Structure 1
Amino acid sequence: MTNTTAPARTLDLLPLALRLDAAVTGANGLAYLAAAPLLTGLLGVPPGALYGVGAFLVAFAAAVAVVAARRPVPAVASEAVVGANLLWAAGSVAVVATDRFDLTAAGTVWVLVQAAVVAGFAVLQVAGLRRR
């Protein structure tokens, strides 16, 4: 008897995780750039810091998008993204732990949520790398 069903397609997790990272990071960076004066009071982060972080995030998001668009997705570049994400997550926790800024309660929550989301991107990206 011949099997006539098509083989199941597996999801390529790595490019998906990288594209999601690029989209969320880019949106976050653009929000910081567009709304820094408004976010300062809400988060307790000076506008200059928000502008700098926003510019960095937009540039990082563009780089991650380039990595995600390559076929095949380069493992070394993906590993660099994972490393950068882990550094960002650790740095975010350090900002809260060291009182680097006069964060509001909302700012503290926001920074820690960002750390968790970015660490989550790293976990997804590592899982995608391991599936290869």
Structure 2
Amino acid sequence: MSLFTAPRFLSRILWLDAASCLATGALQLAITPTLASWTGLPAPLLTGTGVFLVVYALLAAWMARQDPTPRGLTGLVVVGNFAWALGCIALMLSQALPLTGLGLAWLGLQAVVVVVLAELQWTGLRRTRPGRGQPQPA
């Protein structure tokens, strides 16, 4: 059995997603003015996305605790993660905001992390049978 077909693979990736979102959201909320000045991102954007990330982290943690992992919701998470990455990239390319080097790095890191998480979640969905958590042949 490979890591990708382990029965709790999706759950573990959702826990990782929840932890990363909670850490990012909490940081954005805790030091909004400082982060805004360091990154060039508007404080209201950091606050709004910070709240979203904390709420999302709670949902992802709830999903990770379910047995079996809710496949439909996980599919929505995959789409949402790819959309988040596209949003980060769009902000980086738009030149609509006075982003600093740290702001570009902040957005770029988020884009990379959520694409990796989305790909791992998608891999987990493809490798398990619906409703049974059984590995599918590769």
TM-score, normalised by the number of residues in structure 2: 0.85
SS of equivalent residue, structure 2 residue 31? helix
- Matched length: 126
Task: Spell out the pairing of 1:65-104 with structure 2 (5 A cutoff).
Answer: 65-104=61-100
Are 1:37 and 2:33 an aligned pair? Answer: yes
Q: In the alignment, is the contact (CA less than 8 A) between 1:42 and 1:106 conserved in 2?
A: yes
Range with bigger deviation, 62-71 or 27-36: 62-71
Q: Could you tell me the percent identity over the aligned residues?
A: 38
Q: Aligned pair in 2 of structure 1 residues 8, 35: CA closer, same or farther (>3 Å)?
A: closer
* Separation of aligned partners in 2, 1:98 and 1:8: 41
Task: Spell out the pairing of 1:2-81 with structure 2 (5 A cutoff).
Answer: 11=6, 12-81=8-77
SS of equivalent residue, structure 1 residue 71? coil
* Separation of aligned partners in 2, 1:100 and 1:61: 29
* Separation of aligned partners in 2, 1:45 and 1:8: 41
Tell me, which stretches of 5 or more residues in structure 1 are unaligned? 1-6
Q: In the alignment, is the contact (CA less than 8 A) between 1:13 and 1:127 conserved in 2?
A: no
CA apart distance, 1:74: 1.1
CA apart distance, 1:80: 0.6
CA apart distance, 1:100: 3.3
Tell me, which stretches of 5 or more residues in structure 2 are unaligned? 129-138
What is the alpha-carbon root mean square deviation over aligned residues? 1.7
Range with bigger deviation, 16-25 or 59-68: 59-68
| 1:117 alignment partner AA | V
Select the residue among 117, 120, 130 that pairs with 1:121.
117
Select the residue among 121, 127, 130 that pairs with 2:126.
130
Select the residue among 103, 106, 118 that pairs with 2:102.
106
- Cα shift readout 1:74-114 (whole Å, capped 9, x = no counterpart): 11010011010010001110111112321101111110111
